[in-house]
Structures are given as C-alpha cells and as structure tokens.
Chains A and B, each alone.
Chain A
Amino acid sequence: MIPLFKSHYSFGRSILTLEDKATNDENSEDSLFPLLEIAGLKELYLVDDHFSGFLEANSVCAKRGIKLNYGLRMTVCHDMAIKNEESLSSNSKVVLLANNLAGYYDLIKYYTWANTDGFYYEGRIDWKTLRAHWNNDNLTLCIPFYDSYVFNNLLTGKVCYPDLFTDVFYFSEDNDLPFDGIVNSFLAAKMENVVPAKSIYYNTRKDFQAYLARRCIDKRSNFDKPNLDHMCSDEFCFESWMEKVSNE
C-alpha cells in the first residue's frame, strides 16, 4: 500500500511539514521525515497540490538519501480555454508523477499553463494539452481515489470524459468513508492497474482535530459549523497506514 504523503505546501490540506528533523514532538508541527524513519521507508511519495514544496522536499531527500517520487495533483478539464460555469462540470483531479528530472521540468510547464492560460477559479489543464506534451519516460499519469473522473462520475453531478492517452494507474483507498465502497467496487470490477494507496495528511488519529482546525481556518469556518462536506474520518493518517501494512 503506497503511502501518498501531502505536505503543508498544499495549503490547508495537510499539517505535515518537510522539515529536516530526526524526531517529532508534542510542541511543534510534525515533519513527515521522522515518519519515514519509523516505517523504514527509503522512498517518499509526495503528492502536493502546489509546487512550492518541491525544493525543500528535494534537498531534504537528497541529504537523507531518500528517493523522492514527486507528484502534482492537478485539475484537468475538457477545454481550459472555456471559462464558464458549465465548464466546471468536466473538472476532475489527476496526479502527475515525475519519473526523473526531465519530468520535473514537464511538471513546471503543465503547472504554469494551468495557472495562466487555464485558470478559472483554480489552475486547470486540459486533456489535449496533457496529451500534446506528454512523455512516458518523464511522467506517470495516476488517477487519485478522491475527486477523480471515476469518483465524480459515480458520486457527483459532474460529467467527466477523460482522454486516457497513455497507461494510467488508479489509486484505491479505504478511509472509512461511507462512499469509499462505491468507488472501490467500480475500480475492482472495471479497471486495470489498480494500486492500493493511502493519502496521508497528518500523523495520528488524534491529530485530526488539528487538521480540522487548519481546514476551518482556510474555510473561515469553525468546529461547530465547519462547512466541509463528508469531513468525518480521521483515517488520513500515518498511524492508519502503519496499521494496514502491518495487517497485510
């Protein structure tokens, strides 16, 4: 089961830092590097929504001799030149994993286009642009479990028509949410290259409160009325991943 870490550079979506420290303690933010140490992991799968964490991730990984698998979670749509309410219904998420340094430079290009030409409420790339500049040696296309075209077509009113121009990997997760089973049943029945994974946004289940606080700050809401749909599970944590891999 691949641990897909997200860092605090994905603003408001994780409370794990990329600080180079040996251990975590109760008095400061948790870094994900001590967690890798605890698990004996020599590779880091870091999937962020924003590019700004790459430099710190790369330098700390290099110093510690950890292989960095860096991925960007991006919004893809049907046509990024169309900017109206209707166009939002084709939005879904993909994860672009860089296989090498050239892949990193490809990510920079995609990210730049998405946040300039394609920007509409958020940065968006479209399938034809992905296809036109794609290089399988440099990048791997992954479909995340949540907010992907599969998730959206099964559980939301969106209509996402993906152009799967290359082999893709589908991440399968189970975070104890009521609808996880719907997506997993579909993936098991219909898709190939399904890879068990877990998104990790915080260290332990107790840290969910701190995580929710961060999300509420982002949303300008509060614990009494978080205004965050489906925000009930404390399973997006390293502790849960450790338990699952121990049971395998």
Chain B
Amino acid sequence: MNKDLLRFQDDKVFTFIDCETLNLCLHPFHNLPWQVSLIETRGGKTLKEHDYYPNFWGDEDVPISDDAKRITRFDQRRFNEVSVDPQSAAESIYEILNRADYICGHNLLGFDVYVLRGVFQKYGLDWRMMMPKIIDTLALMKGVRLGAKYDKGSDTLLSYQYKQINTIAGRLKCSLGALGKEFDIEHDYDRLHDGLVDLRLNVKVWGKIQYMVEI
C-alpha cells in the first residue's frame, strides 16, 4: 500500500476553493471575484467553511454580466449586506491557502488560479505559492476518462494536470454536476453556481475521484 497517495494523507489539510466572478475574462482589468468560498478539510471531514464577498466596487453596483448574473442568481441587495473590504478578504483568503497542504477545486488551472492571481497581485501577495499545491479535480477526472495515468517518475503532478486541462476532447462529462449525479451523490443540484454549494459537492466528488487515481 503506497501511503504517499493522496487518499491516505489523512493528516493533511485539503482546502477547496471556488470563485464566482463578473464574467470569464482572466485579467483583473475586466474581471474580479464577487464571491470566494473555501472549505478546509482534513481526513475527509470539514474543518471550517469560509465565504467572502469582496467589494471591489464601493458604492457602485457590481458590474456583473447578464449571463453570470443569471447563472449564479446574483442579488445586489444581498451582496450589499454581506460584502467586505476587498483587501482584508484577499489577505484572509491568502492566509487560508498559504496554510493549506493542498488547494483543491474544479477547473482551478483553467480559471480560478488566474482570478486569484489577479486579486493577490493587486495587494502585493505572492500568488505563485499556490501552484505546487494545486489539485484540480477536473484535470484528474479528465485523466481518468482519457486513460492517462500519472507517472510520478516522468511528470510533476502539476505538469500532468496541465496536460489533461489542455487536452481537447468532447463529451467527457466532467462538470461537477455531471460527476455528482454519476457518483450518485446526494446534493442540491438546483443551487449549483453558488460558491459554497458548489464546494460542498466538490468535496464529495473528490471523495470519489481520489480512489480512481493513483496519485
């Protein structure tokens, strides 16, 4: 039994993260997160949940695109009630990720890493500390579907995950919702695209994926 495999690392903190943003642009000049949710776990159990609503826009309405507003059910009034200073939110998020052993999420390498990079750069925080810790559940599941085994001798985990993310293949059905249903996970699928709701599903999906990969 290889105790180095992730599924046996019960003493490590796996922190899941998800960002809800204005749109799909990857540069902060046009896109910033209005919600950043995190769940810290250890041994498959939730240690703590965090839900930040950084307000980069002051008294102005959040300039969220119509599509993003519809998909995420964004509510300006609610945002006004719960939003916080963006710098303090960024610093708190940074601290949580910095103390994590692994940073997990679905399509982190294709999207959230860039969003977080933009936010951390804004406040002079070194975003590169995230990279060695990334576990992208979309990348790993794509690897399972494509039959691409991870070879520790010839690839770093990050390099392997990038290969999966950058492989274009249709009909893999690797969205979080699709995986949740495939794995018969009980969840509120009608409320997806809310940060914490997505993350709770992500934690459950990771619970299945970690037994499907030799990583």
Q: Which residues of A contact B (CB under 8 A)?
A: 154-157, 178-179, 181-182, 208-209, 212, 223-226, 228-234
Contacts and interface: CB of A to CB of B under 8 A. Distances in A.
A233 B22 CA distance: 18
9 contacts: A154-B162, A157-B148, A208-B27, A212-B27, A223-B25, A224-B65, A225-B23, A230-B26, A232-B26
Contact of B167 (A156, A179, A233, A234): A156
Interface stretch (B50-58, B112-120, B171-179, B181-189): B112-120
Contact of A208 (B29, B110, B156, B158): B29
Given A156-B166, A156-B167, A223 B23 contact: yes
A238 to B, nearest CB: 18
Contacts of A223: 23, 25, 30
Central interface residue in A224, A226, A229, by most chain B CB within 10 Å: A224
A229 to B, nearest CB: 7
Contacts of B114: 178, 230, 232
B162 A179 contact: yes
Central interface residue in A179, A181, A226, A232, by most chain B CB within 10 Å: A232
A181 B131 contact: yes
Given A178-B113, A224-B65, A231 B27 contact: yes
A-B pairs with the 9 shortest C-beta distances? Answer: A157-B167, A224-B23, A232-B26, A232-B114, A156-B166, A155-B162, A224-B65, A225-B24, A223-B30
A226 B24 contact: yes
Given A157-B163, A229-B110, A182 B29 contact: no
Nearest to B118: A232
Contacts of B48: none
Contact of B26 (A155, A157, A231): A231
B29 to A, nearest CB: 6
Contacts of A234: 27
A184 B167 CA distance: 21
A232 B110 CA distance: 11
A155 B155 CA distance: 10
A182 B27 contact: no
A224 B24 contact: yes
A234 B22 CA distance: 20
A88 B146 CA distance: 18
Given A230-B114, A232-B118, A182 B26 contact: no
Contacts of A208: 27, 29
B67 interface: yes
Interface string B14-58: 000000001111110110000000000000000000000000000
B77 interface: no
A156 B163 contact: yes
A178 B25 contact: no
Contacts of A212: 27
